[in-house]
Amino acid sequence: MSAQPATPRAAPADRRTSTIQKRSSLLPRPASIVLDDTVLIAQHAQLTGSFPITAGPNTVLHPHSKISSALAPVVLGEGTIVYERAKVGVGSGAGDGRIESQEGGVGGGRGEGTVLGRYVVVETNAIVEAAEVGEGSVVEVGALVGRGCVVGKFCTITASTVLFPNTRIPDYTVVFAGSEHRIDKTMRDRDEARMLKIGMHRKQLEMFKKLVPNNAAKWRVG
Amino acid sequence: MAQPFPYTYYSCDCYDSNTTAASAKRASQQPPPADDEDERTFDPRNLRSNYSLYPLEHLLYCEDCQQIRCPRCVIEETLAWFCPACLFEVPSSVIKSDGNRCTRNCYNCPVCTSTMTVNSLDDPDDPSSSGGPYILSCSYCHWSSHEIGIEFEKHTGITSQLSRIANGGRPVPTQKERDKERERRKDADARKRDGRDVLSGSDDSPTTDRERDDTPPSHEDLFSNLAAFYKAQINAQSPTPFSQHDVSFSSPASYARIMNLYSTSSAKKQKREKPSPMRESSSVLEGLTVFDPATDAAAIERIKKEGWSSTLSPAQKLAQVNPNIRFESELRPTASLLCTKRGKRCRSCRHILAKPEAKITSTRYKIKLLALNHIPRLSLRALPIPSTSQPAAAGASSSATTPAFNYNALKSGIPTHFLLHLSNPLFDPIRVTLATSSTTPGKVQSRVTILCPQFEVGANTDVWDDALTSSLSPVKRAPALNADGQIEAGKIWNHGRNWTSVVIEVVPGFLKPIVGFSLGEDGKKEDEELDEDEDVLEIPIFVRIEFEADVNAEDRGLGDSRGAKEGARERREEAFWTVVGVGRVAPM
């Protein structure tokens, strides 16, 4: 479980040790979680780490999704969906985070922190450690977006693709077949395509609100 | 067919075994190994034998010929064609006329070859009545027909709409329009040539002709021009209308001349002229592709401007109808290739061996004659020897003390015991005879001894049958060790309802000849290096089974002629070679 290693890495001095309530979870709570009122966090979702985690309106976190701010803060934009067993946050990848950080930022890499833009979808089992993921992008099942990556808007990282750290993906790119890139001209040129996509996304958000019980209250208090 | 050790391969009889490779290659080696009754041993190292060895699961069995049939001995015949995308069955008559691609809405993406779907590019705020313009889009790489400038009005009948639009939205002329256009141009050219007078003005409209000449003719235009030209040539060759149908055009000029000599009546003598021989096309209107260095220069400029990513890979080009395109904007969606459902027949007697169900989506087979159901299965595993020196009271069973047997590291020179397990799929008990040469063929000679070459295996009855007709003698489950703990020869190791296991003793050979150890060679220096896979220990075993089977009542007409009554038993035997792969000999 990737959330467990967060414990030795978190600096104890940063954490506020407010023990007003007895927490049911044994995992360390992030120092500050800023949740909008419309955020939907399912049961068994995990938010861990010492840096702040911010979630914009209408964000949906599915069961067993893991947001880890152990090494850097995480910002989820409006309408972001994080599916089951997906991991967002620097250091979520299989223990390579520390090794990569020693190489330093090369080329288009960016500093600390993970920012997911509006309407980003992180599908099941994906791992997103990127510095930034642009609006409307989709990280498909099992993909691995390395640390410091900058992904443009309306991109698609197809299933099981591995993006090495500090890769820069321009807007409207589709990364498929391992290492092939191409620009999705339909999305770029046609406004209707983008509007249709966002419309579908909004409908999905409504459905989730009706189907998934919301456990966000647990994370608001304290 | 790389399989992990230990494996068993069966040899099909189609193997042409005229060569005795082992003895031919090494005349200096020891005398040829002991032969079986057929005066030859199967050599798995022979290059040819690779083509006849198959795992049991790959083999079919012909009941008429009573023989194994390998994939090379079967004839495949297609039963049905279907499109893998829409799962629609296409009758064979349509295949002959329309070809082997789907003619409905199934197209493959030209970039990534996955199936494309028809999506609507509707403005969600201002929906149009027909559902907006439709595009073909790929769900994997997100290519869509928008990138080549094609949009459809309706979401069905994609094929007809696609054939009418070229890339960029320009309409494609139909056949009739092309013909008319071609005729018009030919007349214009002819008139220009005839009445060429520099000073006189031209009658045609020069502007329209010139601007049309700028765009090079497309692939389809060239094809239709060429086809029309050849049709005209063929028509010009034939002297009479009738001969078009029954004349072969291998030598049209000479044939036409001879026909002219004998068929024309005297009234038409003056028309008897030598028909001109068929010529090739000589202009663009006749389908000639004229090389223009300007197109190459334009292509180079385009690459400079748009970059490498706008060009096509060889795989993408080959999948296209027009193989001469270079750039992404010239791509067209390719129609899905149809798949087939095939049945297999025996090559010699045409008996059906495997026939799938007619329903496209079902994977079951109506007829399935597998070798698994007719040939006993041999399998090998290492036999852990209980060491007699260790006290049994140690409490450790023999399997716990020895680590897992490593098939990739057999020890040279040390007798190793293996358990050969035969299971019988037939409903009658069989008598099995095994035979193998005393040393394995090849560079690394290992000595093989089958401790019990003849034994019986029980019938494959139901479990309940077996329990009901309980065995008279208690089933001896103890292994056949004699008092010393040595494995007895001539006795089976263990047996069950339909299986028996016997012990094989193998002494793996040495990878390098030991100095001073005479192996029958003369003093010439052998190459020390072993070829790849020479250290693999493979044992060719000849298996012969004898059993009594009911005379098959379905034998077509033969049952009566033999005068056999129902229920009469006939003695049958089958024999085949197998190669048992034991493992690799570890280098010392």
Query: A132-173: per-residue pLDDT in tens?
Result: 999 999 999 999 999 889 999 999 999 999 999 999 999 999
State how far residue B88 is from chain A, nearest Cα, in angstroms. 29
Task: Grade residue B386 by pLDDT with cuts at 50, 70 and 90.
Answer: low
Contact criterion met (CB < 8 Å) for B141 and A195: no
Mean pLDDT of B260-273: 59
Distance CA A219, CA B515 (A): 79
pLDDT exceeds 90 at position A202: yes
**Is the CB of B127 inside 8 Å of chain A's CB atoms?**
no
Region B154-176 average pLDDT: 81
pLDDT of B568 above 90: no
Burial of A146 (0-12, 13-18, 19+ CB in 10 A): buried
Residue A193: closest CA among chain B residues belongs to which residue? B121
Query: What is the number of structural domains in chain B?
Result: 1
In terms of Cβ atoms closer than 10 Å to its own Cβ (0-12, 13-18, 19+), residue B484 is exposed
A203 by Cβ neighbours in 10 Å (0-12 / 13-18 / 19+) ranks as: exposed
- Collect all residues of chain B within an 8 Å Cβ-Cβ radius of residue A187: 142
Name the closest residue on chain A to residue B136, using Cα atoms. A186
pLDDT above 90 (res B529): no
pLDDT value of position A8: 47
Write the residue in A156, A185, A192 that is nearest to B121 by C-beta.
A192
Cα gap B472→B492, rounded to integer Å: 19
Chain A, window 33-62: residues with a beta carbon less than 8 angstroms from a chain B beta carbon? none
pLDDT digits (tens, 9 = 90+) for A114-137: 999 999 999 999 999 988 999 999
Chain B residue numbers with beta carbons less than 8 Å from the beta carbon of A195 are 123-125
What share of residues in chain A are helix, strand, coil (percent, to 5)? 20, 25, 55
Look at residue B290 and tell me whether its pLDDT is greater than 50. Answer: yes
Lowest-confidence segment of B90-94, B215-219, B332-336, B399-403 by average pLDDT: B399-403
Say yes or no: B135 contacts chain A, CB-CB below 8 A.
yes
What is residue B370's predicted lDDT score, i.e. its pLDDT? 93
Does the pLDDT value for residue B21 go beyond 70?
no
The answer to whether residue B506 scores a pLDDT higher than 60 is yes
B141 touches chain A (CB under 8 A): yes
Mean pLDDT of B258-262: 70
Contact status of A71 with chain B (Cβ, < 8 Å):
no
pLDDT, tens digit (0-9, with 9 covering 90-100), for B387-435: 444 444 444 444 445 567 888 888 888 888 899 999 999 988 899 999 9
What stretches of B336-491 adopt beta strand conformation (E)?
339-346, 352-356, 365-368, 377-382, 416-423, 430-435, 447-450, 454-457
Average pLDDT over residues B359-383: 91
Residues of A in contact with B111 (CB under 8 A): 182
| A181 chain-B contacts, CB cut-off 8 A | 309
Of A176, A185, A196, the CB nearest to B112: A176
Q: Do A158 and B143 touch (CB under 8 A)?
A: no
B146 to chain A: nearest residue by CA?
Answer: A186
Tell me the nearest-neighbour CA distance from B136 into chain A, angstroms. Answer: 11
For A165-185, what is the mean pLDDT? 90
Tell me whether residues B141 and A190 touch, CB distance under 8 A.
no
CATH number of A28-94+109-219: 2.60.40.1250, 2.160.10.10, 3.20.20.70, 2.60.200.20?
2.160.10.10
- Look at residue A25 in the predicted model and tell me its pLDDT: 56
Contact B21, B40 (CB under 8 A): no
pLDDT, residue B437, reads 86
Range B106-130 average pLDDT = 85
Q: What is the pLDDT of residue B33?
A: 41
Tell whether the model's pLDDT for residue B367 goes beyond 50.
yes
Q: What percent of chain B has pLDDT over 70?
A: 72
Q: Is B167 on the interface with A (CB under 8 A)?
A: no
Chain A contact for B146, CB < 8 A? yes
Q: What is the pLDDT of residue A27?
A: 62
CA dihedral B246, B249, B252, B255 (to 10 degrees): -40
Structure confidence at residue A40 (pLDDT): 93
Chain B residues inside the 8 Å CB shell of A177: 112, 141
Which has the minimum average pLDDT: A113-127, A199-213, B506-520?
B506-520
pLDDT band at B570 (very low <50, low <70, confident <90, very high): confident
Q: Which residue has the higher pLDDT, B292 or B125?
A: B292
**Residues from chain A contacting residue B125 (CB–CB below 8 Å):** 195
Residue of A nearest to B137 (CA): A186
Model confidence at B481, pLDDT cuts 50, 70, 90, reads low
Candidate from A199-213, B178-192, B328-342, B559-573 with smallest mean pLDDT:
B559-573
Residue B70 above 80 pLDDT? yes
> Is B212 part of a structural domain of the chain?
no
| CATH code (residue B492) | 2.60.40.10
In a domain, B49, yes or no: yes
Q: Determine which of A171, A182, A197, A203 to mutate to test the interface with B (most B C-beta atoms within 10 Å).
A: A182
Identify from A172, A181, A185 which residue to disrupt to test chain B contact, counting B C-beta atoms within 10 A and taking the largest count: A185
- CA A77: distance to chain centroid? 9
pLDDT at B83: 94
- Does the structure show a pLDDT above 60 at B153? yes
Report residue B36's pLDDT band, with 50, 70 and 90 as the boundaries.
Answer: very low
Which range is most confident: A209-213, B36-40, B522-526? A209-213
pLDDT above 70 for B562 = no
The answer to whether the beta carbons of residues A95 and A116 sit under 8 Å apart is no
Which of A21-35, B130-144, B354-368, B496-510 is least confident?
A: A21-35
Top residue of A171, A196, A197, A201 to mutate, by most chain B CBs within 10 Å, is A196
Query: Lowest-confidence range among A131-145, B228-242, B445-459, B498-512?
Result: B228-242
Nearest CA in chain B to A179: B141
Query: Which region holds residue A107: left if phi is over 0, alpha if psi is between -120 and 50, else beta?
Result: left
Across A89-105, average pLDDT: 54
pLDDT of B536: 84
B121 touches chain A (CB under 8 A): yes
Q: Retrieve residue B412's tokens.
A: 């040279």
pLDDT in the model for residue B284 = 78
Of B125, B142, B309, the CB nearest to A174: B142
Element (H, E) at B255: helix B252-263
**What is the residue extent of each domain of chain A?**
28-94+109-219
The number of beta carbons lying within 10 Å of the beta carbon of residue A120 is 28
For B191, which DSSP code? Answer: H
Residue-wise pLDDT for B172-189, tens only, equals 777 777 778 888 888 888
Residues of chain A neighbouring B142 (CB-CB closer than 8 A):
156, 174, 182, 184, 186-187
**Which residue matches tokens 């079986």?**
B36
Beta-carbon separation of A186 and B123 below 8 A = no
Of B439 and B552, more confident: B439
| Domain span holding position B512 | 1-25+37-59+376-384+405-520+528-588
**Does pLDDT of B485 surpass 80?**
no
From the CA of B288, how many Å to the nearest CA of chain A? 36
pLDDT at A172: 94
What is the rounded radius of gyration, in angstroms, for the C-alpha atoms of chain A?
17
Domain assignment of residue B14, yes or no: yes
Inform me whether the pLDDT recorded for A23 exceeds 70: no
Q: Does any CB of chain A come closer than 8 Å to the CB of residue B309?
A: yes
Q: Is B539 contained in some domain?
A: yes
For helices B175-194 and B219-237, angle between their N-to-C axes, nearest 10 degrees:
70
Contacts of B112 in chain A (CB under 8 A): 176-177
Q: Six-digit token pair at A22?
A: 């007895």
Q: If DSSP states are collapsed to H, E and C, what string results for B215-239?
A: CCCCHHHHHHHHHHHHHHHHHHHCC
Question: Is B305 part of a structural domain of the chain?
Answer: no
Residues of A in contact with B135 (CB under 8 A): 186
pLDDT value for B411: 84
Contacts of A175 in chain B (CB under 8 A): none
Contact pairs from chain A to chain B, CB under 8 Å: 46
pLDDT tens per residue, range B221-245: 888 888 888 888 888 876 555 444 4
What's the average model confidence in pLDDT over B285-309?
88
Q: Across the interface, do B137 and A186 touch by the CB < 8 Å criterion?
A: yes
Asked if A182's CB is within 8 angstroms of B143's CB, the reply is: yes
User: Which range has the worst mean pLDDT, B159-168, B362-371, B480-489?
Assistant: B480-489
Asked, as a colleague might, if the bond just before B275 is cis with ω within 30 of 0, I would say no
Tell me if B122 and A196 make a contact (CB, 8 A cut-off): yes
Q: Which residue from B122, B125, B142 is facing A186, i.e. has the nearest CB?
A: B142
Q: Say which residue the tokens 């194994």 belong to.
A: B68
Compute the mean pLDDT over every residue in chain B, rounded to the nearest whole number: 77
Q: Does residue B362 lie within any of the structural domains?
A: no
Do residues B55 and B1 lie in contact, with contact meaning Cβ atoms separated by under 8 Å? yes
Within a domain: B196: no
Residue-level pLDDT at B545: 92
> Which residues in chain B touch residue A158, judged by CB atoms under 8 angstroms apart?
140-141
The answer, yes or no, to whether residue B472 has pLDDT greater than 80, is no
Residue B578 touches chain A, beta carbons under 8 Å: no
Q: Biggest alpha carbon distance in chain A? A: 55
pLDDT value at residue A120: 95
- Bridge-based pairing state of the strands A66-69 and A87-88: parallel
pLDDT for residue B138 is more than 90: yes
Range with the lowest mean pLDDT among B207-216, B248-257, B270-279, B503-512? Answer: B207-216
